[in-house]
Amino acid sequence: MPTPGLGSRLDAVVGAKSARLLESHLGLVSVEDLLRHYPRRYATRGELTDLSQLRLHEHVTVMAEVITTSLHDYPDRKQPGRVLKRADIVISDGTGRLLLTFFRQPYLLKTLRPGVVAMFAGQVGEFRGTRQLLHPDYEIVDAEPTEDVETSSRMRRPLIPVYPATAKTSSWRIAKCVELALDSLDAIDDPVPDDLLDSRRLLGLAAALEKIHRPVTRTDIEASQRRLRFEEAFVLQTVLALGRQRMEHLPARPRPPTEQGLRRQFDDRLPFALTHGQLDVAETISTDLTRAHPMHRLLQGEVGSGKTVVAVRAMLQVVDAGGQAALLAPTEVLSQQHHRSITTMLGDLALGGMLGGAHGGTRVRLLTGSMGAAARREALLDAASGAAGIVVGTHALLEERVQFADLGLVVVDEQHRFGVEQRAALTAKAGETRPHVLVMTATPIPRTVAMTVFGDLETSTLRELPSGRQQIQTTVVPEAERPAWLDRSWQRMAEEAERGRQAYVVCSRIGDGDDAPDDDDPLTARRTYAASELYDTLASGPLRNVRIALLHGRLAPDVKDDVMTRFATGLVDVLVATTVIEVGVDVPNASVMVVMDAERFGLSQLHQLRGRVGRGTVPGLCLLVTSAPEGSPARERLAAVAGTTDGFALSQLDLQLRREGDVLGASQSGRRSSLRLLSVIEHEDVIADARDAATATIAVDPDLSSYPSLAAVIADLEDSARAEYLEKT
């Protein structure tokens, strides 16, 4: 019979019953799944568990000493007159005590005697004010020398692994299965090349698995985790490096710049000078567009750093070269704003073949799902014929009926709001040759995330703000502690309107019963501000003498467009809105923003919102209204926003406050993910090192023919949904 390998099914190693438990409760199917189920901590012999930290209802595994035992009678409810036995055992870690209760098992007192140290697993309950485990599983760690109690060799080791477990699969049941799996293995193929292991003084895979599950010292744990963490980063970065390599070999039509084209005319008409950062990034993108393989670039930048102008120049270069560009935006408000701003910037250059259009101009068409039939038909015809060099739209661009004559560039704005398949559907409209792709985000991305989630994209960053951009003062307004401050906020808004300036009021929900507060959450168990209700209150109260309008996602598209047009042209003084104005909205005359229930927004989202003010000639003011108590984490987050206008610093802090799965997305944080010990939040140096190693490995051996074990791991990943996500991001 062949020796089981990492790919073997568990039932061949641990037995059918244990295999069923491991699969049904932990999702572990193969030997490798089990051995990659690493201990979450290690109990040290002689050091007991801190019982004072246990919380009600949590499932725990603790190591403690039996202090007292007692046996009690209780009546059998099913058979009157019959008396049953209940065993109560009190365990302690020296600082706290925990009651263990076993019904109808009096014989346990012979095993769990005072002085015995054992591990106990169960759900924390409460009995008469005392923390309790009812019928916990247990395994002896140390028994009294005089007692005939068998202690496994595993539990006699100085470091005892404690595994992520469930009520049906305790930590030591998992440990027993791990022992069987380790003892059954022979040779293990290592996906990390020997030269990388040697140069970094890393353990081989077999040794790492042995030491992480059966460590003798803390040094063993550290060495095994260091090796396995590098492996996770290296495999992931190799997948991304292969993606970049494949992209470089796909065919794309070069779109070189022309001397006297639309881009040159656009540059000549710009009323401002591009920043050094814009010029550098624009030159990089221009060079990418001249190549015979598709550009695949991420453009990230501070709020107001001028990404749109850079994107327009790239689109015009493609139009000059005979192609078309599509700009995909996540919301109708943003797509309408992009269409409005691009046509305004281009002027008669956007009226190609139309009355008043410039010679050699093109057309800029808008395509959304709610457009009227006539306008939609006209946009579809211009896209299919090539008359529209630039097509701006929402998800409507992805529909099968939308066709392009020669799609050369896809620009995806706020790309994190789109699914993988949506982005792939748009690029597929270019036919056999792939279009160049530029994805943009105004949410600064920390380097670790850029290297991990967007590792197959080349990244450009705009940090420099255009000259003339004003400073934004951000102040926290504690509503409960300083109610007069909120009243003063409305007065300030009215004063700004009297000076001819404009303002935003942002709410987290629309109203009419939507997003009802969660009564189980003390932070949101109160009534929050709704845009529709606050609009009525302000329009009839403190802002009754100013022109005020309401904007949210449920309004009809033509109503939303009308509201934004009136606000952009100065016919509305105060706009009460939801986060539909978070990105892309550019009204230079807006000087004040009030964000209600600011604690309900993320750090990067608040930074995005306040970027809507201070875009003109006067400084901006952003007021963060909150009911979060002083000293709470929510107030500390708001203080962080108020303390800096550096979006990259805030994004790093935001990353630290979020869970790993939030950063990576569900497809990268699930069971099939290779990220178990690696954290994109904590291990930037490991990720950077692994990226360099993966890039060098692919450069030397693009087919991984010399590294069959690595190639096999990559092939397995590429069969999973996670690999599909990485490939198309």
- pLDDT, one tens digit per residue, over 683-723 is 889 999 999 999 999 999 999 999 999 999 888 877 764 44
Task: Please give the structure tokens belonging to residue 323.
Answer: 């192609």
Rounded to whole angstroms, how far apart are CA atoms 53 and 56?
A: 10
Instruction: Give the integer Cα–Cα distance in Å for 13 and 263.
Output: 67
Cα 108 to Cα 94: distance, rounded to the nearest angstrom: 23
- As a whole number, mean pLDDT of residues 6-33 equals 90
pLDDT of residue 385: 94
Rounded to whole angstroms, how far apart are CA atoms 207 and 37? 16
pLDDT digit string (tens) for 164-189? 877 678 787 888 899 999 998 877 89
Structure tokens, 420: 């993988």
In this prediction, residue 249 has a pLDDT band, given cuts at 50, 70 and 90, of confident
The model's pLDDT over 462-475, given as tens digits with 9 standing for 90+, comes to 877 766 667 889 99
Given this model, what pLDDT does residue 700 score?
Answer: 93
Using the predicted structure, report yes or no on whether residue 137 has a pLDDT greater than 80: yes
Task: Write down the domain spans for the chain.
Answer: 305-441, 472-644
Which pLDDT belongs to residue 416?
Answer: 53
Tell me, what's the pLDDT at 138?
85
- Of the two residues 442 and 565, the one the predictor is more confident about is 565
**Would you give the end-to-end CA distance of the chain in angstroms?**
44
Q: For residue 121, which of 67, 58, 70 has the smallest C-alpha distance?
A: 58
The pLDDT of residue 156: 57
Enter the pTM of the model.
0.68
Domain 305-441 and domain 472-644, same fold? Reply is yes
Structure tokens that stand for 32 in this block? 């490798």
Of the candidate ranges 33-42, 95-104, 514-523, the one whose mean pLDDT is the lowest: 514-523
CA distance 63 to 91: 9
CATH architecture of 472-644: 3-Layer(aba) Sandwich (3.40)
Kindly report the backbone phi and psi dihedral angles of residue 37, in degrees, each rounded to the nearest multiple of 5, phi listed first: -90, 85
Task: Please state, in angstroms and rounded to a whole number, the distance separating the CA atoms of residues 41 and 172.
Answer: 13
Q: What is the average pLDDT across 77-99?
A: 87
Mean pLDDT of 133-137: 88
**CATH of span 305-441:** 3.40.50.300
The tokens of 135 are what? Answer: 């019928």
Q: What is the pLDDT of residue 97?
A: 87
pLDDT tens digits for range 524-533: 445 689 999 9
Cβ atoms of residues 389 and 255 within 8 Å: no
- The predicted pLDDT at position 144 comes to 53
Average pLDDT, the chain: 84
Report the C-alpha gap between 289 and 334 in whole angstroms.
Answer: 26
Looking at residue 656, its pLDDT comes to: 67
State the pLDDT at residue 149.
43
Backbone φ, ψ for residue 10 (5° rounding): -70, -30
Write down the pLDDT at residue 561.
84
pLDDT score of 724: 47
Does the pLDDT at position 666 exceed 50?
no
CA-based torsion, 12, 14, 20, 25: positive or negative: negative
Whether 478 contacts 638, CB under 8 Å: no
Q: Is the pLDDT of residue 230 over 70?
A: yes
pLDDT digits (tens, 9 = 90+) for 562-619: 998 899 899 999 999 998 876 667 788 999 999 999 999 888 788 888 888 988 888 8
The encoded tokens of residue 726 equal 């990485």
pLDDT for res 466: 67
d(CA 486, CA 484): 5
For residue 161, what pLDDT is reported? 87
Q: Cα–Cα distance between 298 and 439 in angstroms, integer?
A: 5
pLDDT recorded at residue 668: 37
CA gap 552, 558 in Å, rounded: 12
pLDDT tens digit string along 609-654? 888 898 888 889 999 999 988 888 889 889 989 988 877 777 777 7
The residue with tokens 């139009």 is 319
Secondary structure, 3-state, 131-148: EEEECCEEEEEECCCCCC
Residues whose CB is less than 8 angstroms from the CB of residue 227 and which lie 6 or more positions away in sequence, other chains included: 192, 197, 202, 203, 204, 205, 208
> Is residue 608 within 8 Å of 614, Cβ to Cβ?
no
Confidence category of residue 142, pLDDT binned at 50, 70, 90: low
- Taking Cα atoms as reference points, which of 664, 673, 675, 677 lies closest to residue 722? 673
- Kindly report, residue by residue over 312-366, the tens digit of the pLDDT: 999 999 999 999 999 998 888 788 888 988 998 899 998 887 877 788 899 999 9
Residue 388 has pLDDT above 90, yes or no: yes
Placement of tokens 């140096």 in the chain: 685
Confidence of residue 150 (pLDDT cuts 50, 70, 90): very low
- Region 433-446 average pLDDT: 81
In angstroms, what CA-CA distances link 611 with 22, 319, 475? 50, 31, 14
pLDDT at 590: 93
Given a cut of 90, is residue 659 above it in pLDDT?
Answer: no
- Per-residue burial over 561-596, b if 16 or more Cβ lie within 10 Å, else e, is bebbeebbeeebbbbbbbbbbbbbbbbbbbbbbbbb
DSSP state of 156: G
Q: Is the pLDDT of residue 664 over 70?
A: no
Q: Which helix (H) or strand (E) holds 285?
A: helix 276-289
> What contacts 274, CB < 8 A, 6 or more positions away?
282, 306, 309
Average pLDDT in the 498-522 region?
Answer: 74
Q: State residue 282 phi and psi, 5-degree precision.
A: -60, -40
Q: In the prediction, which pLDDT does 1 show?
A: 41
- Burial letters 445-471, b for 16+ CB under 10 A, else e: bbebbbbbbbbbbeebbbebbbeebbe
Contacts of 454 (CB under 8 A, 6+ apart): 298, 445, 729
Average pLDDT for 101-123: 87
Which pLDDT score, from 0 to 100, does residue 555 have? 87
Residue-level pLDDT at 548: 96
Q: Name residue, tokens 């047009």.
A: 565
pLDDT score for 429 = 75
Question: 450 pLDDT exceeds 50?
Answer: yes
3-state secondary structure 167-195: CCCCHHHHHHHHHHHHHHCCCCCCCCCHH
The answer to whether 521 and 543 have CB atoms below 8 angstroms apart is no
Q: What percent of the chain has pLDDT over 90?
A: 41
Asked which of 5-14, 149-158, 236-245 is least confident by mean pLDDT, the reply is 149-158
What's the pLDDT score for residue 597? 94
